[in-house]
Structure 1
């Protein structure tokens, strides 16, 4: 088989774009996500367009039991995972902390932090056994700054930053590289999810400037994945040209 990449949250946006980008350099892919129909559409597209193998797994990273079950059930040839992309994540709501909705908090913490940990806990031992591997965690500008209404989401992405650093230290003796990509404003389903389906509010987030595209983040992943093994790209912060910080955007 070719090198194998395992991607969480592959049904849309950054995850989907990264799957397509890795396919261009010959990675076989394990694509996972909650929406089975979208996974199957992506799988068919990848197999038709590229000479690769694709395995799709319906998976909610928040469910530890299912994560363990699905990864342990992988055929042996698919367990030789070279790259893990922890992409599944979301922001929900913009309430100030004193008016916070606990269900929103739980969704963000369970997906962005615990889900990342559950998947890494299952795949990193497979890499350690082979003494090789690359783990890339999708963080955010929200992992480096806080902003109004971002309290818990920023907290989860700050956690991703800290966990990434800890993982890098823990996995160093096993020759496993650990990287983080922290995007600024990317036009995906992100804002639609954050505003709970309100497309008008979501569109206003990107008004007056050109945001990043999912493909821009996939290009960053491609750069990381194609470095020689003695090179580790620890951290990439990528922003639209019109964005200087989490809050400062030059809108026209």
Structure 2
């Protein structure tokens, strides 16, 4: 099968690319950083095709898809992995630009990619869309504000896809990880403050990018009559807190 992965230049996306290629599948690697995509494609060989563009740029998405070679154009699996969090402060202190960037990537980019590839899947009566959500889409926490809201959007959009796609042969899954280390996620969120990013994982054994890649691979290789609506993963070191109560 042909698997299209957004945000493939690092983290979950790169781990997924390696996992699907090892499994004998072809992978289209998309992301903003062309040099990283080329390096990954060189590593993976002829079964990987780099395609550099920004998912928040609708025109770039359509141009990139139109330029796909004919033998790469029938995409069986779309993994909407591109996404980011910016900032950890309270909503009243957050930068509006950060909120807009998260919405443009985590929501608008995801739906634009989905709408571009979904009709062909429906016409063939087969296909799979895996959307990368987060436990932040279900469980609020201080500083989660717009990031959590974008992941709640991913959850509801995926469920509504399921409602529309019932009986079509096309599947849709929200893959929602918890605390996951070994990626750029916290470094990006902390805007390059590597020390602060490292503290997020201090004293923990978090999930890894490979854990998420293995889960995506399992979902994609299930028999075609099975749909995983939502799958949530957390490391055993992570749990739930009581409701916060501010006392005067």
TM-score range, shorter chain: over 0.9
Q: Contact 1:68–1:122 (CA<8 Å) still a contact in 2?
A: yes
Does 1:242 pair with 2:240? no
TM-score by length of structure 1 reads 0.93
Does 1:148 pair with 2:146? no
Tell me which of 25, 28, 32 is aligned to 1:27.
Answer: 25
TM-score by length of structure 2 reads 0.94
Tell me how far 1:245 sits from its aligned partner: 3.4
Alignment of 1:121-160 (within 5 A): 121-160=115-154
Point out where structure 2 has 5 or more consecutive residues left out of the alignment. Answer: 244-248
- Counterpart of 2:13 in structure 1 is 15
- Counterpart of 1:79 in structure 2 is 73
**Number of aligned residue pairs:** 242
| 3-state SS of paired residue (2:166) | helix
Tell me how far 1:103 sits from its aligned partner: 0.6
Q: 1:246 to 1:153 in 2, by over 3 A?
A: farther
After the TM superposition, list the runs of 4 or more consecutive aligned residues in structure 1 that deviate by more than 4 angstroms. Answer: none
Q: Contact 1:11–1:35 (CA<8 Å) still a contact in 2?
A: yes
RMSD over aligned Cα atoms = 1.4
Tell me how far 1:67 sits from its aligned partner: 0.6
**Range moving further from structure 2, 162-171 or 203-212:** 162-171
Tell me which of 172, 177, 190 is aligned to 2:171.
Answer: 177
Point out where structure 1 has 5 or more consecutive residues left out of the alignment. Answer: none
1-side partners of 2:147 and 2:159: how far apart?
19
2-side partners of 1:208 and 1:235: how far apart?
29
Tell me which of 217, 224, 245 is aligned to 2:219.
Answer: 224
Tell me how far 1:230 sits from its aligned partner: 1.1
**Deviations along 1:88-136, whole A, 9 cap, x unmatched?**
0000011211112011001100000000011111111121121110110
